[in-house]
Structure 1
Amino acid sequence: MKRSLLWCLALSGLTACAQQTGGPAKSTQTATGHDDILTAYHWQLERAIDDQGTAQPQWIRQNGNEDGPLDLTFKDERVSVSGLCNKLGASYAITGTQMHINQVVGTMRLCPDESLMQYEQAVGQRLPEVSAWRVKTQPGADHQPSLTLGFNDGSQWILQGKPTHETLYRSSADIVFLEVAAQTVPCSHPLTPNKQCLNVRTVDYDASGLKQGQGQWQAFYDDIEGYRHEPGVRTVLRLKRYTRRNVPVDASRYAYVLDLTVESENTR
């Protein structure tokens, strides 16, 4: 069965490539304001307390869930929520230490886990009650910042920062499209006997999202973060490609991150 999301390309202008930045992104030590830090990290929920400091365990997912912890990302005046069944999002505004999050909207996928759906709905209702925010930083490269969100009732969420890919690689991403064949191919590697690689070719789209052509098939030695190949399934992937700095001679200069599955076809 073939599923295509090419209409997304036309609607969102997804074929354009991001420009490389001229230099490294600001670190927590050199950022001019905490709003820079807010957008430079993903924020994973670690603790939730009420106005008396008592833990609110209902907001913390149990260890072992496949979706991971609740994760907030602030970018372009929008907050995105992952770690749930559906993707949630809302616009937000900050004035000093005050934060206002508007009504949350999300995708409408039906989730088999009823408790996860209830948790997701609760999160969507809770976020517009945020009234304040505070970022705390610590010196040292190994210390990530923390974010505290304050709610109207005095409760707080404490979230741990994890660098975005732009922060981690100190550059913006180039957008590339790869078609991945249904079956892997043998590829020689001195450290991995009998290694199998993805069989890929580049795909070109015009500004309307229409396919214009493909490159030559070749073995793909790199990993793609967020992608797991399923034998017998052909896919077209939209990837973010970051240029890595100071890489070893035998390592790839690029890091690839899955951004969107454009096409998926089961050939079995």
Structure 2
Amino acid sequence: MPTFNRARGLLGVALLACVALAGCVSQSAWRNSAGSPAFQPANANDFLAQTSWTLVRWTRPGGALRSVPTNDPRNRPITITFTREGAEPRVTGYAGCNTFTSSYTVGGGQNLILTSDPVSTRMACAPADRSQVERDFLAGLTRITATSADNYGDPRHLTLSLANGDILDFSRRIDPVMGGATGATKLVYVNSQRVPCDAGVRRTTCYQVRDSDNQPWQFWYGDIAGFQYHPGIIYRLRVVETPVLNPPPDMPAVQWTLDSVVEQRVVGH
């Protein structure tokens, strides 16, 4: 009996240590998930995490409206999306002619701050006057003076005030991860380690992925939106695959968004 109590006590200590570290992962061979991992924003102020927006109104100082692209097949709207790539919050979107990407944070007063200059593709604009709209939009994102929303718990309207007095109003789109994504779904395996790779002109690390167990691992140069990756675990994911318009050189022509974690296995177990 003393031996049993001592063993039970040691088990209790181990469980408490696991909770305290918040890093223990199931050691079973495969564990089914009840759904997608819960998204944890980078900080408590980040009400924009996992949201996507369309620019619906651009107001000049004095109240004049600037023409913005509308949502029809010949006039793709300007969009902005907030996700997380690993531990880093990412902002991506379409600026009128090209796609762009940057990093961001939500600072004091819940103000959106881009922490790096937007990097965009270099497609020519048609019509030509769209080029100026795109340049002004990307420049404005680096000079946001105030950010407001109708409801910080579940915002549907977003307003960005710029240093030059312009005001950008956005309407909420379908969220990138939390349901409603459109596109084909597929099952993929993700290996337990990311490996060095060349994505265009920059050196980075890539996922290793494959469709089935009997295939060799291949580099995946893109992100998997909404996926919280932990080294040492082989995952089987269900992802939504959507096309990317004008992808950067050497990057995939499709975007993967996590639908659910189907299985996961700790390497060596």
TM-score (norm 1): 0.49
TM-score (norm 2): 0.49
